[in-house]
Amino acid sequence: MNQAILIVLLLFLCTGVASADPAPSSTPSLSALSVPGSTEQPAATFGRDLYYKDEGVVSGPRAPRPSMGDYPRLLGESRLVIWIVAQQHRYWVAFVLGTLLMVTLLEVWTLTRPRHQRAIAYDMLAREWLDLVILAISVAAIFGGLLLLGFLALYPDLTVYLMTVFRPVFLVFGLLLLPFTILSYLYSITWHRWSGGWLKWLHAALGILVNVIGAMLALLGNAWSSFMMSPAGVDASGRFLGNSWHVIHTALWNPFNVHRLAGQLLCASAVLAIHAVYRTMSAATDEEKAHYDWMGAVTCGVLVSALITMPFGGYWLMREIYAYRQQMGITLLGGLLAWLGLVLVTAMGILFFSINYYLWQRIASVGGAWSLGWATKWVFGILALCMVVYITPHTMVMTPLELKNMGGQQHQVLGNYGVESAKSAAVNLMILVTAWSFVLWRFCRNSVPNDRTRRLLQLIAVGFLVAGTNILLLGIYGYYLPANVRVGLSVPMVGTTFTVVLIGVALTSQCISRGHEHHPEWGALSTRGSFSLLAISFLVIWIMGLGGYRRSAVRLFWHVNEIMKDESPWAFTHTTGFAVNMISLNALVFLLGCAGMLWLAKAGLPRRGVTETTTSRSEAETH
Amino acid sequence: MRTFRFIEGFMPLQFLLELVGIVLLFTGVAALLERVSCPINRFFKAVLVFVTFVLYLTYRVYPPMPFSILATYITVGLLAVLLWASSSDAYWQEFKQPILAVVDAETLHTRVLRSVLVILIPCLAGWVTWHSMLTKIEEPVELRTVIPAPPNTFTAFGKRFVTHEVQNPFRVNEHGKYDQRFTDALSVEEGGAGLMKPSANPWASNATAYLMSVREGGALYFQNCAFCHGANLSGRGHENFAFNPYATNFVQLRTILYVEEGHEFWRTAGGGTVLPTEGFPWASVMPPMEEHLTADEIWKILLFKSWFTGGDPAWVYEWR
C-alpha cells in the first residue's frame, strides 16, 4: 500500500512536471548560441555541458534562484527534518538491498552445491533473512514517501528543478518500484512452493531479477545525489540539455555506486548481526542459541568482507572528488570537514579493534584452540600502533602554548603520521591483521589438525608476513617520493593486501572443505563476544551516517554545486559537535526501528528458522 | 629518557620500533619469570605495560606532544591492553583475580589495600576535578581549519576568476604554450635532497622563458615574502615567530595533493581578508598582496615557489 501511494505520487509529479513548459530564459547565457532555424520553428537554443563540455539543445529552465522568503518554514529548521528522514530512508534501503543480495547469493550458492554439508542450513538462513526484508521494505517505502513529501513541502523550488532535470529518470524510477515490490513479495512467498526441481532454479532467477531491479533503483537514486554534488548534462545556468544519460552519469556517480554497494552489504550484515546477537542472548534452548550464534558468525564474515573494500572504495571516491573539484577535496580532508574525517578514522580504528576482539572470542570459544593465545598481544599491539598512525592528524589540536613548545605546526616525530603514505600503510596492515585473525579462527575449527594443515597455516603465515613487510616498506618509501608518484603507491599496497587476503582465505576454505570442519563451538561464544558484535554493528551504522553527512555537507552552501545556491536561513555548516550529535540521533532512531522490526519478527515468526534449520541439518547429516 | 635522542630522518619509524621493543622486552621477561616458576599475574602485566606506555609517551617523545594527542594515544593503549587482557575467559579470570581479591578483602594485606584505595580514589577524583576547574591563564585550544577551501570563483584585480580553471600564464614551454609536464621536468626534485637539475638553472645564460620567470619570481619572493615564509620557504622567516599560527611552510608538502594554481593565486592575492565564512573566525595575518604586487608578479612568485619546492600541481590536471 505504501509503495503504491509512493508510485502514484511519483508518477503524478513527473506527469505534472512533464506537462509544464520549460520556463524561457530571462537572460541569455553567454555560452548559449542561437542557431537560425526555419521561420515556422522557433530557433533552438544551445548550451554547453558543464562537465562533458559538449553542446546540447536547451530543454529545461534555468536553475531557480530562490530568496530566503521562498523557503517554507513549517517544521523549524527544514534541513534537520530532511537530514533525519533522508538518513532513515538510506539506512532502510541499504538494509533491504544488502540483505536481498545476501539472500540471493546464498540461495544460488546452495543450488550450485546441493551436497555441501551446510547447503540446507544456509538456504534456511537465507529464508529467515528474507522475512526481515519483507518487513523492512514497507518501512523503507514510508521513509521514501516522507522524503519526497518533505522535499516538496520544505524545498519546493529545488525539488521542482530536480524533477525537471530528472524527469525521465523519475518516471523509470517510479515504474521500477512497482515490479520491485511485487517481485520481492513473490520471491518471499514462493520460497517453499518453488523448492523442488527446476522451480528452485526459477526461484533463484526471480531473486536475481529482484536484485537487478533493486540495483537499478539504487543507481538511479545515487544519480540524484551525485548530480547535486557534481552536476552534468546541464549548462552553467542549470538548463537541462536533453541528454539524461549525462545527468545520470556524472563525475562521481560510479564511485558513489561502488561505495554504496559495499555500504549496503555492511548495513545489512550489521542489522542481521544485531538480530543474531539479540536472538542468541534471548535464546531459550541451547539449540536456538547455537543457531543464532552461527548466524552471528556468518553475518560477521559478510561484514568483514564488505568492510575490507571500504577504505579502497572511499579512497577512490575521494580521489575522484579531488579530480572533480579540488576545493571539495580540501574541504573534506584539510578544511571545514577535516575534523569529522578524523572522527571517522577513529571510529574505523575502533571498528577494527572490535572485529578482531570478536574473532579472538570465537577462537577462545573453540575447545583446545587457546594454544594460540600468545598471539593476541601481538594482534592488539600491531592494531594499536596502526591506529596511532591512522588517527594522528596532520595538524594537531593544541593550545598556543603547546604550539610554542613544539616549535612549529608539525610535530617532528608524529607529524609524519598525518600524511596519506603512513595512513594508507596503517589501514592496509589493519586489514591484514584482521584477515589473519579470521584465518586463524577458521583453522581453529578444524577438528583434525594434521601435518598438511599445519604446513598450510605456516605457508599462509609467511605470506601474510611478507605482505605486511611489503606494505610497511612501501609506506616508508612513500616519504622519499614526490606526491604524484606517492599517491600511486596505494595501488601496490591494495594489490598486496587483496592478493594475500584472498589467497589466504581461499587456501583456508579449501583445507576446511576437505571435511575436517567441526562445529561444536556454536553457542559457546562469551557474552563479551556477543557485545563486541553489537559494538561492531553500531559502529558500522554510525560510520555510515557520518560518511553520508560528510559527502552531503561538502556542497556547503549549494543545493546543486555551482548551479543552485542554498539561500535558506540554514545554509551554514553545522558545528562538528552538533553534526556528531545528529548522526548519533539518526543511528539511534534507526536502531530503535530495527529493534521494533526484530521484535515483530520474533513475535510473528516464532522459531521457524531454528526448527527448519535443525531439521534440515539432521536431514543433511542423515544423507 | 631523552638522553638518547631520536635519529633525524628516522623518527616516525623509531617511535614505532621502540614501542615494539618495549612489548618484546616485557614478553621476554614474563617468559623468563614463568620458566623459573615465578609467573606474573596478567593484571600486573597489563598495568606494567600500560604505565610504561604512558611514561614513554610523556617523557621519551620530544618535543612534547599536545595533550589532545597524548590523551588519544593513551586511550588507544588502554583499549589494546584491556582487549588483550579479556581476549579469553581464562585471561579475563586471571586479570580480575587481584581486583576481586582487594574488593573481597579476605586477608590483612588486601584489607589494608582496600582501605587505602577507598581513601585514595575519592581524593584523586577530587584533585582531578579541582585541577580541571582551576582558572588557567592561557589561550584555549583551537580546532583550527588548516587549509581554507577556496571559493568556486573569486575576484582579484577587478577580474573574476574560476578557481579550477585558472592557469599560471608563465608556466609555458619553449613554444610559449601552457605545459605542466615541461615545467615539472625543470623543477627542483621534491622529496630526497631537493637537488636542482643542471637543465633547470634559472641563472643559466640559456634559461628558457619559464626559468627566467622563475628567476624573477625568486627575486620578488625575497623582496616581499621571505620575511615571514623564510629564506628556504620553510615558514621560518624572522618575523614568523610573532604570529600564531605561523606562516605556511611551503617545503612541508606532504599533503595528499598539491593545491591548484587558482587556489594559490586566490590565497596570495586576497591574503587573510578573503578567507571564506566557513570555518570562521580565521587567524591569518597574510596581507592582500594584490594591493602590493601586480597579477604577473604574483604568478611569478608562485612559479618560483613551485620550482623551488618541486610541488608541481600538474598531475591534478592529468586526472581530468
User: How does pLDDT run across A175-210, given as a tens digit for each residue?
Assistant: 999 999 999 999 999 988 888 788 889 999 999 999
Tell me how far CA of residue B264 lies from CA of A251, B130, B192, in angstroms: 24, 47, 24
Q: What is the pLDDT of residue A516?
A: 55
The average pLDDT across A36-60 equals 79
Q: What is the pLDDT of residue A608?
A: 54
Q: Which residues 22-41 of B are in CB contact (within 8 Å) with A? A: 23, 27
CB contact under 8 A, B146 and A329: no
Q: What is the pLDDT of residue A617?
A: 44
Q: Nearest CA to A494 among A434, A424, A430?
A: A424
pLDDT-derived band at B232 (thresholds 50, 70, 90) equals confident
Q: Which residues 138-157 of B are in CB contact (within 8 Å) with A? A: 138-152
Q: Please check whether residue B125 touches A, CB under 8 A.
A: no
CB contact under 8 A, B149 and A327: yes
B254 interaction partners in chain A (CB closer than 8 Å): 394, 416, 418-419, 421, 479, 483
Task: Look up the CATH number of the domain holding residue B171.
Answer: 1.10.760.10
Q: Which residues pair with A56 in a beta bridge?
A: A47
CB contact under 8 A, B20 and A385: yes
Residue B133 in domain: no
pLDDT greater at residue A521 or residue A123: A123
Q: What is the pLDDT of residue A34?
A: 43
Q: What is the pLDDT of residue A517?
A: 56
Say how many CB pairs under 8 Å bridge A and B.
231
The average pLDDT across A222-227 equals 94
Q: Please check whether residue A31 touches B, CB under 8 A.
A: no
Out of B6, B144, B257, name the one closest to residue A329 (CB): B257
Among chain B residues, CA nearest to A377? B84
Has residue A25 got a pLDDT over 50? no
The average pLDDT across A23-45 equals 49
Q: Nearest CA to A277 among A526, A107, A95, A102?
A: A526
Q: Please give the Cα distance from A579 to A233 (Å, whole number).
A: 32
Q: Which residues 1-20 of B are in CB contact (within 8 Å) with A? A: 6, 11-16, 19-20
CB contact under 8 A, A528 and B191: no
The three three-digit cell numbers of residue A297, written as one number: 558468525
Lowest mean pLDDT among A47-61, A278-292, A399-413, A526-540: A399-413
Has residue A27 got a pLDDT over 70? no
Has residue B163 got a pLDDT over 70? yes
Out of A339, A364, A481, name the one closest to residue B89 (CB): A364
Q: Which residues pair with A446 in a beta bridge?
A: A517
pLDDT-derived band at B319 (thresholds 50, 70, 90) equals very low
Domain closes at, from B81, B104, B127: B104
pLDDT-derived band at A17 (thresholds 50, 70, 90) equals very low
Q: Nearest CA to B67 among B173, B116, B145, B138?
A: B138
A368 interaction partners in chain B (CB closer than 8 Å): none
Has residue B29 got a pLDDT over 50? yes
The average pLDDT across B96-117 equals 93
Q: Please check whether residue A392 touches B, CB under 8 A.
A: yes
Q: Please give the Cα distance from B8 to A200 (Å, whole number).
A: 67
Q: What is the pLDDT of residue A437?
A: 93
Q: Which residues contact B112 (CB under 8 A, 6 or more apart)?
A: none
Q: What is the pLDDT of residue B243?
A: 81
Asked if B175 and B36 sit in the same domain, the reply is: no
- Helix residue spans in chain B (DSSP H): 11-35, 42-55, 67-85, 89-104, 108-133, 180-185, 209-224, 226-229, 261-270, 295-309, 314-318
* Cβ B225 vs Cβ A384: under 8 Å: no
Tell me how far CA of residue A182 lies from CA of A170, A186, A203, A215, in angstroms: 19, 6, 14, 16
Share of chain B above pLDDT 70, in %: 89
Residue B111 in domain: no
Residue A309's Cβ-side half-sphere holds a number of Cα atoms within 13 Å equal to 16
Q: Rounded mean pLDDT of chain A?
A: 85
Q: Which residues 264-303 of A are in CB contact (within 8 Å) with B? A: none
Has residue B43 got a pLDDT over 90? yes
Residue B127 in domain: no
Q: Which residues 115-134 of A are in CB contact (within 8 Å) with B? A: none
A573 interaction partners in chain B (CB closer than 8 Å): 278
pLDDT greater at residue A619 or residue A107: A107
Angle, helices B67-85 vs A338-365, to 10°: value is 10
Pick the residue of B53, B72, B87, B241 with the most A CBs within 10 A to test the interface with A by mutation.
Answer: B87
Q: Please check whether residue B209 touches A, CB under 8 A.
A: no
Asked if B94 and B197 sit in the same domain, the reply is: no
The three three-digit cell numbers of residue A457, written as one number: 597455516
Asked if B72 and B193 sit in the same domain, the reply is: no
Q: Is A45 helix (H, G, I), strand (E, B) or coil?
A: strand
* Cβ B155 vs Cβ B274: under 8 Å: no
Q: Which residues 557-576 of A are in CB contact (within 8 Å) with B? A: 562, 572-573, 576
The average pLDDT across B230-245 equals 84
Q: What is the pLDDT of residue A28?
A: 40
pLDDT greater at residue A487 or residue B35: B35
Q: What is the pLDDT of residue A29?
A: 41
Q: Please give the Cα distance from A498 to A309 (Å, whole number).
A: 9
Has residue A115 got a pLDDT over 80? no
Pick the residue of A399, A405, A566 with the most B CBs within 10 A to test the interface with B by mutation.
Answer: A399
Has residue B318 got a pLDDT over 50? no
The average pLDDT across B107-116 equals 94
CB contact under 8 A, B88 and A364: yes
The average pLDDT across A345-374 equals 87
* Cβ A610 vs Cβ A113: under 8 Å: no
CA of A44, closest CA in chain B: separation in Å?
28
Lowest mean pLDDT among A473-477, A484-488, B126-130: A484-488
The three three-digit cell numbers of residue B105, written as one number: 578483602
Share of chain A above pLDDT 90, in %: 53
The predicted model scores a pTM of 0.86
Residue B112 in domain: no
Q: Please check whether residue B249 touches A, CB under 8 A.
A: yes
Q: Which residues 259-288 of B are in CB contact (within 8 Å) with A? A: 259-260, 263, 277-279
CB contact under 8 A, B64 and A405: yes
CB contact under 8 A, B164 and A413: no
Asked if B90 and B168 sit in the same domain, the reply is: no
Residue B166 in domain: yes
Asked if B28 and B88 sit in the same domain, the reply is: yes
Lowest mean pLDDT among A22-36, A48-62, A460-474, A541-555: A22-36
Q: Is A602 exposed, middle or buried (0-12, 13-18, 19+ CB in 10 A)?
A: middle
Q: How crowded is residue B258: how many other Cβ atoms within 10 Å of its Cβ?
A: 23
CB contact under 8 A, B253 and A483: yes
Residue B182 in domain: yes
Secondary element (H or E) of residue A328: helix A326-333
Give the DSSP per-residue string, A534-592. HHHHHHHHHHHHHHHHHHHHTTTTEEETTTEE--STT-SPPPHHHHHHHHHHHHHHHHH
- B84-98 pLDDT, tens digit per residue, is 999 988 899 999 999
B147 interaction partners in chain A (CB closer than 8 Å): 330, 334-335, 338
Q: Please give the Cα distance from B165 to B154 (Å, whole number).
A: 12
Give the DSSP per-residue string, B108-161. HHHHHHHHHHHHHHHHHHHHHHHHHHS---SPPPB---SSPPPPSEEEETTEEE
Q: What is the pLDDT of residue A32?
A: 41
Asked if B303 and B199 sit in the same domain, the reply is: yes
Q: Nearest CA to B55 among B92, B3, B19, B25?
A: B19
Q: Please give the Cα distance from A220 to A250 (Å, whole number).
A: 12
Asked if B86 and B190 sit in the same domain, the reply is: no
Pick the residue of A385, A489, A559, A565 with the most B CBs within 10 A to test the interface with B by mutation.
Answer: A385
Asked if B174 and B72 sit in the same domain, the reply is: no
Q: Please check whether residue B305 touches A, CB under 8 A.
A: no
Q: Is A47 helix (H, G, I), strand (E, B) or coil?
A: strand
Q: Please give the Cα distance from A419 to A392 (Å, whole number).
A: 9
Q: Please give the Cα distance from B311 to B295 (Å, whole number).
A: 21
Asked if B165 and B307 sit in the same domain, the reply is: yes
pLDDT-derived band at A354 (thresholds 50, 70, 90) equals very high
Share of chain A above pLDDT 70, in %: 86
- B165-203 pLDDT, tens digit per residue, is 889 999 998 898 998 888 888 877 655 456 777 788 898
**Which residue type does B231 have?**
A
Asked if B92 and B184 sit in the same domain, the reply is: no
Q: Which residues contact A193 (CB under 8 A, 6 or more apart)?
A: A199
Q: Is B128 exposed, middle or buried (0-12, 13-18, 19+ CB in 10 A)?
A: exposed
Residue B129 in domain: no
Q: Which of A384-388, B7-11, B236-240, B244-248 has the highest mean pLDDT?
A: A384-388
pLDDT-derived band at A508 (thresholds 50, 70, 90) equals confident
The total of structural domains in chain B comes to 2
Q: What is the pLDDT of residue A187?
A: 94
CA of B301, closest CA in chain A: separation in Å?
21
Q: What is the pLDDT of residue A22?
A: 42
pLDDT greater at residue A403 or residue A171: A171
Among chain A residues, CA nearest to B255? A419
The average pLDDT across B287-309 equals 93
* Cβ B261 vs Cβ B156: under 8 Å: no
B58 interaction partners in chain A (CB closer than 8 Å): none
User: What dihedral do alpha carbons B206, B208, B213, B215 form, nearest 10°?
Assistant: -30
Q: How crowded is residue B144: how many other Cβ atoms within 10 Å of its Cβ?
A: 16
Asked if B33 and B159 sit in the same domain, the reply is: no
The average pLDDT across A497-520 equals 76
Residue B216 in domain: yes
CA of A265, closest CA in chain B: separation in Å?
27
Among chain A residues, CA nearest to B140? A399
Q: Nearest CA to A295 among A537, A575, A516, A53?
A: A537
Among chain B residues, CA nearest to A483? B257
Q: How crowded is residue A362: how many other Cβ atoms within 10 Å of its Cβ?
A: 28
Q: What is the pLDDT of residue A23?
A: 41
Q: What is the pLDDT of residue B192?
A: 47
The three three-digit cell numbers of residue A205, written as one number: 532467477
Q: Nearest CA to B43 among B55, B32, B30, B54?
A: B30
Domain closes at, from B44, B75, B104: B104
Q: Please give the Cα distance from B255 to B248 (Å, whole number).
A: 13
Q: Please check whether residue A403 touches B, CB under 8 A.
A: yes
CB contact under 8 A, A331 and B257: no
The three three-digit cell numbers of residue A559, written as one number: 543545493
Q: Please give the Cα distance from A496 to A467 (Å, whole number).
A: 6
DSSP state of A55: E
Q: What is the pLDDT of residue B83?
A: 95
CB contact under 8 A, A353 and B79: yes
Q: What is the pLDDT of residue A314?
A: 84
* Pairing label, strands A33-34, A45-48: antiparallel
A527 interaction partners in chain B (CB closer than 8 Å): none
CA of B232, closest CA in chain A: separation in Å?
15
Q: What is the pLDDT of residue A161?
A: 95
Task: Kindly indicate whether the ipTM for this predicted assembly is greater than 0.95, answering yes or no.
Answer: no
* Pairing label, strands A55-57, A45-48: antiparallel
Q: How crowded is residue A337: how many other Cβ atoms within 10 Å of its Cβ?
A: 27
Asked if B302 and B195 sit in the same domain, the reply is: yes
Has residue A614 got a pLDDT over 60? no
CA of A364, closest CA in chain B: separation in Å?
5
B13 interaction partners in chain A (CB closer than 8 Å): 476
Out of B147, B192, B252, name the one closest to residue A335 (CB): B147
Q: Is B7 exposed, middle or buried (0-12, 13-18, 19+ CB in 10 A)?
A: exposed
B263 interaction partners in chain A (CB closer than 8 Å): 326-327, 330
The three three-digit cell numbers of residue A131, written as one number: 522475512
Give the DSSP per-residue string, B154-168. EEETTEEEEGGG---
pLDDT-derived band at A612 (thresholds 50, 70, 90) equals low
Q: Domain containing B33: what range? A: 2-104
CB contact under 8 A, A402 and B84: no
Q: Nearest CA to B163 among A361, A521, A331, A137?
A: A331
Tell me how far CA of residue B103 lies from CA of A277, B40, B113, B120, in angstroms: 32, 20, 9, 14
pLDDT greater at residue B245 or residue A528: A528
